[in-house]
Amino acid sequence: MHPGIIFFLVILGSILFHIFTPWYWTDVASNWGGMDDTITLTFWIGGGVFVAVCLFMVYCVFKFSYKENRKAEYKPEDKKLEKILTWATTLGVVALLAPGLVIWNNYVNVPKNALEVDVMAWQWGWQYRLPGKDGKLGTTQVVNVNDDNPFGINLDDPYGKDDVMIQSDVLNLENNVPVKILLRSVDVLHNWYVPQFRAKMDAVPGIVTFYWFEPNKTGEFEVLCVEYCGVGHYAMRGGVIVQETQEYNKWLDQQEVFSDLIAKQEKMEVEKTKLVKK
Amino acid sequence: MSEDYNDNKTIHAQSSETMGGGSAGVTPDMDYVRPAEIADQDLYHGHSFITKWIFCQDAKVIGVQYFLLATFTGVVGLILSWLMRLQLGFPGAAGFVTAEHYYQFVTMHGMIMVVYFLTALFLGGFGNYLIPLMVGARDMVFPYLNMVSFWSFFVAVAVLMASFFVPGGPTGAGWTLYPPQTILEGTPGSGAGILLMCLSLILFVAGFTMGGLNYLITVLQARTRGMTLMRMPLTVWGIFTATVLAMLAFPALLVGALMMSLDKVLGTSFFMPTILKAGEVLEYGGGSPILFQHLFWFFGHPEVYIVALPAFGIISDLISVHARKNIFGYRMMVWAIVGIGALSFFVWAHHMYVSGMNPWFGFFFATTTLIIAVPTAMKVYNWILTLWRGNIRMNTVMLWCLGFIVTFVNGGITGIFLGNVSVDVPLSDTYFVVAHFHMVMGIAPLMVIMGAIYHWFPLVAGRFLSEKLGKWHFWLTFLGAYSIYFPMHYLGFIGVPRRYYEMYDSPYVTSAVGMNEFISLAAFLVGAAQFILIYNIIKTLKTGKPAGKNPWKANSLEWLTPTVPPEHGNWGDRLPVVHRWPYDFSVPGAKDDYITQTTPPSEVSNTGVEKT
């Protein structure tokens, strides 16, 4: 069999695989459908180039296989052809880059009304904090973190007192409300990723990083850590539950607030001192 | 040079002009080449077994030494990949592959394949063997330093392999070695393992610098008479440019490895912020983990091209020789190699779009990254345009070349996905990335290495490798590798993360189970197929068909040595003199379909050869 036939079948197989694949992306559940569209566009342009180049190669292999009495063409350069190909490629690259940059511009500019969520990561788990009635998160420091202050909130920061603390790896979100995820880590790199939301960013110890999205489908989703963080990396999962406003508010009301925790601890202190006095 | 090329003066006119101010009445000598400016190199000729084969100063022997040692590390890397695929395809089937071991295998596989296998093989192996022969030198300019270079590499490999046997085992930090986890408990091998890794890298860089200086200065200073830069085979251009990149990029890795060792041993905080570990605050503070990532990728991205550029060069020569046609657009090819090399220093942070660096960098690095696609695409066009109207020998070498084109274009296109910042967001850290870089800098360069082995083996050993075994080797490797990595991209679309020891039962990945089994089986097959080559080499050394001189009818100098295989000193009594580029194939009017670089114009004065 002529080797060209096998190469042709490889190309054909690739196309068919792409058309009939049962493995493809999950339904998008956030505002980042544009990323899917850019991928599709890249598939058309890039895939087109791949198929064209390979088919041309296969054609040459068939047409110009070695014959004793034939001589190859002698043509070191073709300036015109090279110029055309350069510009055509540049055009294709611009067509791919432009939409990519537009979406990136959206990605780095967070809407003003986005709800800020503090996502705190460690080896190997997650917990979350939401701003209280004042709408602002209190500042934090790694050295403050202890059993009495699981998020390391600065005690002299008035904004921190009413922060809602979710000491669970499952976070509830309100449907159709943009969320600004503020990531921090107390030890190593992590990354809070929900495949259906498409968006991701590393959590880096020492700094606070961010990204945003707007969930637009209710339901439960799995959170994966996607930045290698040591031997428990693959088991570092969490969850997100996207709810309609009413249910979300009901859930929110049941969550503990930082001042409650402080009060509880103060009460315990007082009772302890009472016991000691007795 | 480009001016010489552009004006279509006749060879006569050109030659008499070169005579410049020559006395009137002398017949213009069309074969004139300016005289040598420096005396012939004095070489140290070893006589004992040790000086001839072990502590040897002959670049060809050093090249083979590099080749064999790199291949050894490659086999280790291959076995590690089998163990990983065993766990991924059939979780728990091999009880000894615990999560710790899995991450150690991932790390060592990555580092070995990129640095100790591919880099050492292309530059140390092919570079040493081919550069002096192709530019018409007797040896590298600093033969002793060259020998020390190999032995530094040897020690670096020994230190790396030793890390398998220290308490805690080798580092399991991922080949990118991102701090802080790299040097903290919770990562396997965060004690002796990571220190040995850093030490081994430092030794590698030191040894590599010695070799690299040799390659550069040999190319710049030791070319034979008539071998202008624009008459060099593209193989030399590729290796030369890659070496320049290596000289500039490896120091960043060296510094990163050094600073990380200090963080580990002395408790400095170059990369270490305040860290809370098991309820206690560690004695680190103020360092930046992202700084390491910048250093690493400032090395790491050019590193991709340190592997790719020699591959580009070699494949150009293989295609040209076996399609019996000049490489299309030689000057464009040279400038593309140089341009890609230069641009490769301005794209490193495309590995860091979601690293937490200032997101505004994304605009800059996406743009530079996609600009690189243009010269790269031009190279691909020129390869297939070289096939166009050629006279293509469908031998094993050509098959590897075609396999390279398919896998490289495939991997290049997926690179455009990942380089385009917002498209990267959903795909980064998934199997799409794994599939992409294996296709483009694993399989594609491997195709080149294999093609190069089948092409130059008759020179190195004087015998042809078996074509029949070669074809089996090719088809199993190409079809197998393609069916590993092509479907793997689709796991990335689902969102399956890389560096997962197992997936548990995430609802949307159940469909990945079957594919993982298939990929693992294909990986076992492809790995096993490589032993066909080893068998082929052993068999050929014993009973292979003798190749004789210039068996492929190539033009470049390495095939024109007085003895095959070439001896120490390469050229016998007189150095060759070069009159043309190495791509004069199928010149109209010529007797044969090739004109070697040493053929003087007077011998082919009736042909339609273009002045090069």
Q: What is the pLDDT of residues B529-560, one digit of tens each?
A: 999 999 999 999 999 899 989 999 999 999 99
Q: What DSSP element (H or E) covers A66?
A: none
Judge if A82 and A169 occupy the same domain. no
Per-residue pLDDT at A267 exceeds 90 = no
Q: What is the pLDDT of residue B255?
A: 95
Cβ contacts of residue A234 below 8 Å, gap of 6+?
B99, B499, B500, B501, B502, B503, B504
Q: How many domains does chain A have?
A: 2
Q: C-alpha angle B219/B254/B361, rounded to 5°?
A: 95
Asked if B63 contacts B54 with a C-beta cutoff of 8 angstroms, the reply is: no
Instruction: Show the 3-state SS of A94-161.
Output: HHHHHHHHHHHHHHHCCCCCCEEEEEEEECCEEEEEECCCCCCCCCECHHHCECCECCCECCCCHHHC
**B interface mutation test: which of A2, A17, A23 has the most B CBs within 10 A?**
A23
Closest CB to A3: pick one of B275, B399, B506: B399
Class of B44-232 in CATH: mainly alpha
Nearest by CB: A66 against B393, B427, B515: B393
- Top-ranked range on mean pLDDT: pick from B24-28, B90-94, B258-262: B258-262
Per the CB < 8 Å rule, is B178 touching A189?
yes
Q: Give the model's pLDDT for residue A271.
A: 83
Diameter of chain B measured on Cα atoms: 94
pLDDT (0 to 100) of residue B28: 57
Residues 280-339 of B with CB under 8 A from A: 281, 287-290, 323-326, 328-332
d(CA A261, CA A11): 63
Nearest to B585 among A10, A72, A100 (CB): A72
- C-alpha radius of gyration, chain A, whole number: 28
How many helices (H) and strands (E) would you count in chain B?
18, 4
Q: Per residue in A10-45, is it b (16+ CB within 10 Å) or e — as a string?
A: bbeebeeeeeeeebebbebbbbbebbbebbebbeeb
Chain B hits for A201, CB-CB cut-off 8 Å, are 354, 356
Residues of chain A with pLDDT > 90, as a percent, come to 77
Predicted pLDDT at B390: 92
Residues 6+ apart with CB under 8 A from B208: B119, B123, B124, B149, B152, B153, B246, B250
Contact B275 A205 (CB under 8 A): yes
Q: Do A76 and B487 touch (CB under 8 A)?
A: no
As beta bridge partners, residue A146 has A149
Q: How far is B234 from chain A (nearest CA, A)?
A: 14
Nearest residue in B to A41, CA atom: B417
Q: In chain A, which residues have their Cβ closer than 8 Å to the Cβ of B289?
A: 189, 204-206
- Is A207 in the same domain as A154? yes
Query: What pLDDT shows up at residue B24?
Result: 42
Q: Taking 50 as the threshold, does the pLDDT of residue B23 lie above it?
A: no
- Are A134 and A255 in a shared domain? yes
For chain B, give the percent of residues with pLDDT over 70. 94
Average pLDDT over residues B159-188: 94
Q: Provide mean pLDDT across the span A190-211.
A: 95
Q: Is the pLDDT of residue B216 over 70?
A: yes
A35–B367: do the CB atoms touch at under 8 Å? no
Evaluate if residue B438 carries a pLDDT over 90: yes
Task: Report the CATH number that the domain containing residue A156 is assigned in CATH.
Answer: 2.60.40.420
Residues A95 and A215 in one domain: no
DSSP string, B499-512: S-S--TT-GGGTTH
- What pLDDT does residue B504 have? 66
* Contact status, residue A206 vs residue B273, Cβ threshold 8 Å: yes
- Residues B17, B18, B20, B25, CA torsion sign: negative
DSSP symbol at B565: S
Q: Is A49 on the interface with B (CB under 8 A)?
A: yes
Decide if B184 and A187 are in contact by the 8 Å CB cutoff.
Answer: yes
pLDDT tens per residue across span B148-157 = 999 999 999 9
Specify the pLDDT at position B611.
63
Mean pLDDT of chain B: 90
Residues A168 and A264 in one domain: yes
pLDDT surpasses 80 at B7: no
DSSP B273-309: ---EETTEE-S--S--HHHHHHHHHHHHHHHHHHHHH
Residue A261 domain-assigned (yes or no): yes
Q: What is the pLDDT of residues B475-515, one digit of tens each?
A: 999 999 999 999 999 999 998 999 999 876 777 677 788 89
Distances (CA, A) of A237 to A123, A195, A243, B180, B495: 11, 12, 20, 20, 14
Residues of chain B in contact with residue A196, where contact means CB-CB under 8 angstroms, are 495
DSSP code of residue A242:
E
The chain-wide mean pLDDT, for chain A, equals 92
> B249 is written with which tokens?
């990029």
A193 part of contact set with chain B, CB < 8 Å: yes
Taking the Cβ of residue B421 and every Cβ of chain A, the question of whether any pair is shorter than 8 Å is answered with: yes
Under an 8 A CB cutoff, do A25 and B426 touch? yes
Interface list for B 232-291 with A (CB within 8 A): 273-277, 279, 281, 287-290
Q: Cα separation of B23 and B28, whole Å?
A: 10
Same domain membership, residue A139 and residue A101: no
Determine the structural domain holding residue A101 and report its residue range: 3-64+75-108
Strand A237-243 vs strand A170-174: parallel, antiparallel, or unpaired? Answer: parallel
* pLDDT surpassing 70 at residue B230: yes
pLDDT band at B8 (very low <50, low <70, confident <90, very high): very low
pLDDT at B26 over 50: no
CA distance B17 to B30: 10
Please give the average per-residue pLDDT across B207-215, as a whole number: 95
ipTM above 0.90, yes or no: yes
Q: A196 with A58, same domain?
A: no
Q: Are B554 and B320 in contact (CB under 8 A)?
A: no
Q: Say what the pLDDT of residue B208 is.
A: 94
b/e per residue, B568-583, with b = 16+ CB within 10 A?
A: bbbbeeebbbbbbbbb
Residues A166 and A93 in one domain: no
Residue indicated by tokens 């081994």: B200
Residue B410: is its pLDDT beyond 90?
A: yes
Q: Which helix (H) or strand (E) holds A224?
A: strand A219-225
Question: A56 and A87: one domain?
Answer: yes
Question: Could you report the per-residue pLDDT of B519-529, keeping only the tens digit for each?
Answer: 999 999 999 99
Question: What whole-number distance in Å separates Cα of residue A121 and Cα of residue A189?
Answer: 9
List the 90-119 stretch of B: residues with Cβ below 8 A of A: 99-100, 103
Range A67-93 average pLDDT: 90
* A271 Cα to chain B: minimum distance (Å): 26
Mean pLDDT value of segment A150-178? 92
| A-proximal residues of B, 458-497, CB under 8 Å | 475, 479, 482, 486-487, 490-491, 493-495, 497
Q: Is A233 in the same domain as A125?
A: yes
Instruction: Tell me: pLDDT of B25 over 60.
Output: no
pLDDT band at B161; cut points 50, 70, 90: very high
- Write down the domain spans for chain B: 44-232, 395-547, 548-612
Q: Are residues A189 and A96 part of one domain?
A: no
Do A222 and A240 belong to one domain?
A: yes
Instruction: Give domain status of residue A137, yes or no.
Output: yes
Q: Tell whether the torsion through CA atoms of A175, A180, A185 and A189 is positive or negative.
A: positive
Note whether A186 contacts B276, CB cutoff 8 Å. yes
Q: What are phi and psi of A43, to 5 degrees?
A: -60, -45
Q: How confident is the model at residue B22 (pLDDT cuts 50, 70, 90)?
A: very low
Q: Do A85 and B381 touch (CB under 8 A)?
A: yes
pLDDT tens-digit series, residues A211-230 = 999 999 999 999 999 999 99
